[in-house]
Structure 1
Amino acid sequence: MPDPGRIRVAGADGCKAGWVAVSSGLEGEGPHQLQVFENFPALLAHQPEFATVAVDMPIGLPDHIGPRGRGSEQAVRQHLGQRQSSVFAVPSRAAVYMADYLEACTVAQETSDPPKKVSKQCFYLFPKIREIDAVMTVDLEERIFEVHPELAFWRLNGEAPMSLPKKIKSRPNGPGLDQRRDLLVSHGFDKTFLDQAPPRGVGRDDLLDAAANCLIASRIAGGTAEPFPADYCRDGKGLRMAIWA
């Protein structure tokens, strides 16, 4: 029998250093821990293993993209108001495996209806998406769940989108980050933990996003989270395409 005191849930977010994870006890109790992993397999291999990992990265990639995208993206955007632009449109699996931007756009257009290119912001996520796609299996769905920080903050904020942006013109927005920190504090995080100087290669926004994802991981472990959309589909590998909160 594993020691219940050592079983932890984690929220993960991609960052320049690799992946930043904030973990807590199953029910969100502290002490919270901050760790950085070079790659996603290293996060999965952490011992003792995380019982539930809520990760801000697309999981489940269709072979063909229809007008509604992956479905999960549209289901989430309708709740986020002015924050909906943070939810990128993910192309087909074939496009995600293109290392060149122009080639990715060509393949994305060939595998979507209506034809649609790839945004530069989404393209920069491709290496992280491929890391997860390479190891993800249906069996791992018991532990690994796709989340999105702005949907997490929406849930934690009484199902209301955050009023301030996290970034303005791709630069961190202090008031927006402070607003999210204060919301996390109201849900049990220590302010000192959230205000710590992040490790090298981790932004303040990465730390806050991972913390929000950690709270959603606790909801998932406790059976109170729900998938968006509720009637989610699966991709060609059998992986669900749903964002949880």
Structure 2
Amino acid sequence: MRSADIWIAGVDGCRAGWIVALVGPDGGDVHVRVLAHFAEILDAPEQPAVIAVDMPVGLPERTGYGGRAAENAVRPLLGARQSAVFSVPSRAALEQTDYREACAVALATSDPPRKISKQLFMIAPRIREVDACLRNNPDAVRRVFEVHPELAFWRLNGGRSLPEPKKVKGKPYDPGLAQRRDLLINAGLPRSIVGSAPPPGAGPDDLLDALACAAIARRLHAGIAEPFPNPPPADRYGLPMAIWA
């Protein structure tokens, strides 16, 4: 594929599946859609060369304080936004489909012992979906990178955490969303897309998070993104456990 033809993608989970922001070679052509399955992103007509997804990649057998090294590496950078970075439990805990069983396994595979949070348990099916795609598809491993929207916005904000949250009490918070829109526009994403309504099945914060992931996908393709930690450790399947920005 010629560099002039290369697309990249930013991906975030949403209530209908996955919201995908596909950015074309010149940056001005952006396609946003909601897909039901992560594998559909790999096979999208645009064939994105880099896919930056807000979902854990690489799952540990055991966890220490605060989850993986990746979570512990980025939290200190995010100030008041660090609570957005969930602690990822062990692979065995994430494989459980009953919450109490997942907590029991998480306690047995963490030091100090820690249960799995309900928020993370709710997205465990998405984590398993990404993990299965990567373990079964060597080509996907070369294309898919873990990112986190708040770390992406930290990078777009010159290495400074954002003062305003994007949600307050579970509802979109306009001042925080406005800050994030400004950063995305300054990063070169089209104002018409950044300010648009999200597609059905996704919220306004989901759209901005997918676009932030796309901004990091662009940096990944340019070779200027950084993994946290650096170098990344690998899980038992060789998947790198790092958050990129």
Band of TM-score, shorter chain? over 0.9
Could you tell which deviates more after superposition, 233-242 or 59-68? 59-68
Deviation at 1:96, TM superposition (A): 0.6
- 2:43 paired residue among 30, 42, 45: 45
**Match for residue 134 of structure 1?**
132
Deviation at 1:3, TM superposition (A): 4.8
Q: Distance between the aligned counterparts of 1:117 and 1:228, measured in 2? A: 24
The amino acid of 2:99's aligned partner reads Y
Distance 2:43 2:164 in 1: 36
Aligned to 1:230: 230
Number of positions where the alignment pairs a residue of Structure 1 with one of Structure 2: 243
For residue 70 of structure 1, the aligned residue among 68, 82, 90 is: 68
SS of alignment partner, residue 50 of structure 1? coil
What 5-or-longer segments of structure 1 have no aligned partner? Answer: none
* TM-aligned CA deviation for residue 24 of structure 1: 1.2
Partner Cα separation in structure 2 for residue 187 and residue 68 of structure 1:
31
Instruction: Give percent identity, aligned residues only.
Output: 52
Contact 2:226 2:244 in 1 (8 A): yes
1:207 is the counterpart of 2:211: no
**Range with greater deviation from structure 2 (52-61 or 99-108):** 99-108
Give SS of 2:49's match: strand
Q: CA deviation at 1:142?
A: 1.6
2-side partners of 1:69 and 1:120: how far apart? 15
**Cα distance in 1 between the residues matched to 2:39 and 2:50:** 15
RMSD of aligned Cα (Å): 1.3
1:47 Cα shift?
2.2
- Please tell me the residue identity of whatever aligns with 2:22: S
Q: Deviations over 1:81-125 (max 9, x none)?
A: 000000000100111111111111111001111110011111111
Are residues 1:112 and 2:110 paired? Answer: yes
| Separation of aligned partners in 1, 2:140 and 2:198 | 29
Aligned equivalents of 1:238, 1:155: Cα separation in 2: 27
In terms of mean alpha carbon deviation, does 185-194 or 221-230 score higher? 185-194
Contact 2:165-2:173 at 8 Å conserved across structures: yes
Contact 2:34/2:201 (8 A) holds in 1: no
Query: What residue in structure 2 maps to residue 35 of structure 1?
Result: 33
Q: Secondary structure at the match of 2:11?
A: strand
Q: Would you identify which runs of 4 or more consecutive aligned residues in structure 1 move more than 4 Å?
A: none
SS in 1 for 2:198: coil
Separation (CA, whole Å) in 2 of partners of 1:48 and 1:209? 20
**Contact 2:42/2:140 (CA < 8 Å) preserved in 1?**
no
Give the Cα–Cα distance (whole angstroms) in 1 for the partners of residues 104 and 223 of structure 2. 41
CA separation in 2, counterparts of 1:121 and 1:208? 20
Is the 2:66–2:87 contact (alpha carbons within 8 Å) kept by the matching residues of 1? Answer: no
CA distance, structure 1, for counterparts of residue 84 and residue 201 of structure 2: 21
Q: C-alpha distance in 2, partners of 1:49/1:166?
A: 31
SS of 2:23's equivalent in the other structure is strand
The equivalences for 1:159-178 within 5 A come to 159-178=159-178
Report the TM-score when normalising by structure 1: 0.95
Match of 1:54 among 38, 52, 55: 52
What's the CA shift for 1:63?
1.0
**Matches of 2:77 and 2:51, distance apart in 1:** 23
Q: Structure 2: which 5+ residue stretches go unaligned?
A: none
Q: What residue is the counterpart of 2:243 in the other structure?
A: 243
- Distance (whole Å) between structure 2 residues aligned to residue 190 and residue 232 of structure 1: 33
Map residues 82-161 of structure 1 onto 2, 5 A cutoff: 82-137=80-135, 139-161=139-161
